[in-house]
Chains A and B, each alone.
Chain A
Amino acid sequence: MTIASQRRTEAVDAWGRRLTLRFEIEGSGPPLLYLHPAGGMLWDAFLYRLAERFTIYAPILPGTDLADTMAIHQLDDIHELVLAYEGALRSLGIGDAPVIGQSFGGMLAAELAVTFPGLFSRVVLLAPLGLWDKSAPWDLDFMTTPPDALPGLLFKDPECEGAQSIFRPPDSPDQALDNTVRSIWALGCVAKFLWPVPDRGLSRRLHRLIDPTLIIWGQDDALIPVSYAQAYRQLIPHSRIEIIPDCGHIPQLEKIEITARFVDEFLK
């Protein structure tokens, strides 16, 4: 697939000028906020498809840009991260837009929405982190999973096109090294907001999420049990869930057609 990318970036002073939040922006139409997962920002086919209808704003988690890896130390916890993001969204003037968050990005979207009710018009959570109960334990061991075992953890079918698209071999050893350093450090940055048990008390706050919310989960998510979809639905007043069969932790890559259809209908 050839995509004529019009991507641009915008750097926004945030968090009392302690850091610069960089947004990658793509597409045309009304604004939509996309919050990336722990592995970092990746423009995939799902997002390009959305970009035909929306202008996607994708902030890059501070610290995960190799340009300023130490920026992560300006944020002590998830609450500071939420305040920093909200301030940046206000500067950009993109309030009242829909938000889509994948995995860690889903947790962040929920945290933003509970802290600032009404900040978003609609909320889409794709297999979000943030809830943990001993009846369905899961852990952060994926952060030390060897690269060759990762596709099997993230995808029901590691051979699917979506999986293949993100595990492409790098062009050169130097690029491979860059990629490794970037992805390990990105996990380290995200871990700051999750460690050691990925539960920062979000379940106590989710009643404040008043925006219409769609929760999408892969039936065969090997990272976070699919039972958390129900838990999210019960805690968020105006929410519904869609469970996608034969699908792992990343519905937007593994089942792009179905995921895109659910999201399209919800955002109409």
Chain B
Amino acid sequence: MRFTYLQHIPYRHFGSDFVDKGYEPVVSTPYFELAHPNLVHADLRDAIDELLYAARSGFDAVGLTEHGQSAFDMDPNPNLGAAAVAYAIAAENLDTGICLVGRSLGKSREPLRVAEELGWLDNLSEGRLMTGFSVGVPYDANINAGIPPIETRARHNENLALILEAWRAREPFAWNGKYSQYMKVNVWPRPFQAPHPPVSIAGTGDPKTTRLALEHDFGFNLVGPTLSQAQQHIFDGLWRMADQLGVDDNPFRVNVAQFVVVADTDAEAEKLYAKHIEYSATRGIGAIPAYRMSLPGSISPAELRTLLAGMPTADPPAPEMPSYADLVESGAIVAGSAATVRDILEDRARSYRVGHLMVQLQIGSMPTELVRYNIDLFTAKVIPALRSTWKEYEPHNRWWPIRLGGRPVSPIQSEPTGATVT
């Protein structure tokens, strides 16, 4: 298995009034009332430091992703943080990849800028880049960026096709798209890796996204939902679809994000991390209202029908303030001693059939010292025990940079996909 340290950049200092006043951690979060510039500075600085600490501690890659207007992840463009990290990793000559989990192409109005920035990062990092793209979550693509929900997926597909062509084209070319037009496309620089960095697609379970990844041999990054039962269902669907499409079942085509906290004992984990996890649940990612994650038009009628029909109507609603115990019990957080965490992650890696794991070791209000402690235990006591899982598939891992042991990407990854309707 290969392990990526995935970093969100949350504002770590909200008080309990955040909950009392019914604030949400996205879109409408009051800034001047709740945030202080010195603390924002500290949060950004700590996040970069934690990424580098993880890289130096032996993670195979470090990762960032994109969320605009989000207090739970102040990361409007992951290329910003990646630039700082890429410089340091290259300067120190670490064997660490840089994974951008999901640059949102459904919201991008400047796809060539994305292509060029990623080319730049790949050169600065000397070929350590892995480029993930995503359709984008509705609150970000549609509310924050103003794209009509019904157009998000088609825009993503067109932008993806343009970026892949822009990276590979030997000569300047014209692009007459529905969402963008250019007479001369000739990005500088082209990527360091040939023909381009490994490409993956981030999704939350919509079968259309899974299909896109499988059909083009892109990697697939699952970035939610975080309940283990829901994830199992998604992976069962993915591997069934792979079988139907005649695509191989290499576990390394999949990367899954997990929240993980490790301590000396299960009890110690609760003592150290509970309040930070509860912070995340009530003032961070866990507090995003459901309606921010779906808007009319973002899911086509057939998928919507399947989704709604599968939803239990009689279940009691989730508790408004889930406790640490609730979150561990439900599987949303993998927590405990190194042995407990190893067992759960190995079990998931096997049952999901995933070779790449993205672990989020900074959660909610966790201070940087505690994050480092979590990183230390994870790299020392969890990674070594899981390292050899799926090793028989490693020789065919084409979703990882070549200089870090990956195989060349499939030619089909580079074929433009074009704009398709939702």
Q: Decide if A66 touches B149 in the complex (CB within 8 Å).
A: no
**CB-defined contacts of B305 to chain A, threshold 8 Å:** 177, 181
Q: Decide if A144 touches B297 in the complex (CB within 8 Å).
A: no
Q: Tell me if B328 is interfacial: C-beta within 8 Å of chain A.
A: no
**CB-defined contacts of A192 to chain B, threshold 8 Å:** 148, 150-151, 297
Q: Decide if B298 touches A188 in the complex (CB within 8 Å).
A: yes
**CB-defined contacts of A66 to chain B, threshold 8 Å:** 301
Q: Within the complex, what minimum Cβ distance (angstroms) separates A9 from chain B?
A: 20
Q: Decide if A191 touches B143 in the complex (CB within 8 Å).
A: no
Q: Tell me if A185 is interfacial: C-beta within 8 Å of chain B.
A: yes
Q: Decide if A191 touches B300 in the complex (CB within 8 Å).
A: no
Q: Tell me if B142 is interfacial: C-beta within 8 Å of chain A.
A: yes
- Interface 1/0 per residue, B277-304 and A, CB below 8 Å: 0000000000000010001111011001
Within 8 A of B (CB), among A31-64: none
- Interface 1/0 per residue, B142-161 and A, CB below 8 Å: 11001111110010000000
- Taking each of B143, B148, B178, B421, which has the highest tally of chain A beta carbons within 10 Å of its own beta carbon? B148
Q: Decide if A69 touches B148 in the complex (CB within 8 Å).
A: no
Given contacts A66-B301, A177-B308, contact A187 B296 (CB under 8 A): yes
Instruction: Please measure, in the bound complex, the distance between the C-alpha atom of A182 and the C-alpha atom of B297, giving whole angstroms.
Output: 11
B contact residues, range? 20 to 34
Q: Tell me if B318 is interfacial: C-beta within 8 Å of chain A.
A: no
Q: Tell me if A238 is interfacial: C-beta within 8 Å of chain B.
A: no
Given contacts A76-B178, A177-B308, contact A185 B148 (CB under 8 A): no
Given contacts A73-B422, A188-B150, contact A177 B309 (CB under 8 A): yes
- Interface 1/0 per residue, A234-268 and B, CB below 8 Å: 00000000000000000000000000000000000
Q: Tell me if A28 is interfacial: C-beta within 8 Å of chain B.
A: no
Q: Decide if B304 touches A181 in the complex (CB within 8 Å).
A: yes
Q: Tell me if A184 is interfacial: C-beta within 8 Å of chain B.
A: yes
Given contacts A184-B296, A184-B304, A189-B297, contact A196 B146 (CB under 8 A): yes
Q: Decide if B291 touches A144 in the complex (CB within 8 Å).
A: yes
**CB-defined contacts of B295 to chain A, threshold 8 Å:** 143-144, 188, 191
Q: Tell me if A70 is interfacial: C-beta within 8 Å of chain B.
A: yes
Instruction: Please measure, in the bound complex, the distance between the C-alpha atom of A72 and the C-alpha atom of B291, giving whole angstroms.
Output: 23
- Interface 1/0 per residue, A162-185 and B, CB below 8 Å: 000000000000000100111011
Q: Within the complex, what minimum Cβ distance (angstroms) separates B215 from chain A?
A: 19
Instruction: Please measure, in the bound complex, the distance between the C-alpha atom of A181 and the C-alpha atom of B151, giving whole angstroms.
Output: 18
Instruction: Please measure, in the bound complex, the distance between the C-alpha atom of A180 and the C-alpha atom of B306, giving whole angstroms.
Output: 12
**CB-defined contacts of A146 to chain B, threshold 8 Å:** 291
**CB-defined contacts of A185 to chain B, threshold 8 Å:** 296-297, 300-301, 304
Closest A residue to B303 using CB positions: A181
Total A-B pairs, Cβ < 8 A = 65
Q: Decide if A72 touches B150 in the complex (CB within 8 Å).
A: yes
Q: Within the complex, what minimum Cβ distance (angstroms) separates B262 from chain A?
A: 38
Which listed residue, B149, B291, B309, B421, touches A191 by the CB 8 Å rule? B149
Given contacts A73-B422, A187-B296, contact A195 B301 (CB under 8 A): no
Q: Decide if B297 touches A191 in the complex (CB within 8 Å).
A: yes
**CB-defined contacts of B298 to chain A, threshold 8 Å:** 188
Q: Decide if A69 touches B301 in the complex (CB within 8 Å).
A: yes
Q: Decide if B296 touches A195 in the complex (CB within 8 Å).
A: no
**CB-defined contacts of A143 to chain B, threshold 8 Å:** 295-296
Q: Decide if A188 touches B291 in the complex (CB within 8 Å).
A: no
Q: Decide if A69 touches B151 in the complex (CB within 8 Å).
A: no
Q: Within the complex, what minimum Cβ distance (angstroms) separates B178 from chain A?
A: 7
- Taking each of B146, B298, B304, which has the highest tally of chain A beta carbons within 10 Å of its own beta carbon? B304
Instruction: Please measure, in the bound complex, the distance between the C-alpha atom of A43 and the C-alpha atom of B60, giving whole angstroms.
Output: 62
Q: Decide if B308 touches A181 in the complex (CB within 8 Å).
A: yes
Q: Decide if A191 touches B301 in the complex (CB within 8 Å).
A: no
Which listed residue, A73, A182, A187, A196, touches B421 by the CB 8 Å rule? A73
Instruction: Please measure, in the bound complex, the distance between the C-alpha atom of A21 and the C-alpha atom of B301, giving whole angstroms.
Output: 19
Given contacts A73-B421, A185-B296, A191-B297, contact A180 B148 (CB under 8 A): no
Within 8 A of B (CB), among A101-127: none
**CB-defined contacts of A184 to chain B, threshold 8 Å:** 296, 304
Q: Decide if B301 touches A196 in the complex (CB within 8 Å).
A: no
**CB-defined contacts of B296 to chain A, threshold 8 Å:** 143-144, 184-188, 191
Q: Within the complex, what minimum Cβ distance (angstroms) separates A50 from chain B?
A: 29
Q: Decide if A196 touches B142 in the complex (CB within 8 Å).
A: yes
Closest B residue to A197 using CB positions: B146
Instruction: Please measure, in the bound complex, the distance between the C-alpha atom of A123 and the C-alpha atom of B291, giving whole angstroms.
Output: 37
Q: Decide if B149 touches A188 in the complex (CB within 8 Å).
A: yes
Instruction: Please measure, in the bound complex, the distance between the C-alpha atom of A117 and the C-alpha atom of B158, giving whole angstroms.
Output: 37
**CB-defined contacts of A186 to chain B, threshold 8 Å:** 296
Which listed residue, A69, A76, A195, touches B146 by the CB 8 Å rule? A195
**CB-defined contacts of A196 to chain B, threshold 8 Å:** 142-143, 146-148
Q: Within the complex, what minimum Cβ distance (angstroms) separates A71 from chain B?
A: 10
5 A–B contacts from the bound complex (CB under 8 Å): A73-B421, A144-B295, A181-B301, A196-B147, A196-B148
Binding site for A on B (CB under 8 A): 142-143, 146-151, 154, 178, 291, 295-298, 300-301, 304-305, 308-309, 421-422
Other than the given A143-B296, A188-B298, 12 more pairs (CB < 8 A) read A72-B150, A73-B150, A144-B296, A177-B305, A185-B297, A188-B297, A191-B148, A195-B148, A195-B149, A196-B142, A196-B143, A196-B147
Binding site for B on A (CB under 8 A): 66, 69-70, 72-73, 76, 143-144, 146, 177, 180-182, 184-189, 191-192, 195-197
Closest 6 CB pairs of A and B: A188-B297, A187-B296, A188-B296, A195-B148, A196-B146, A73-B421
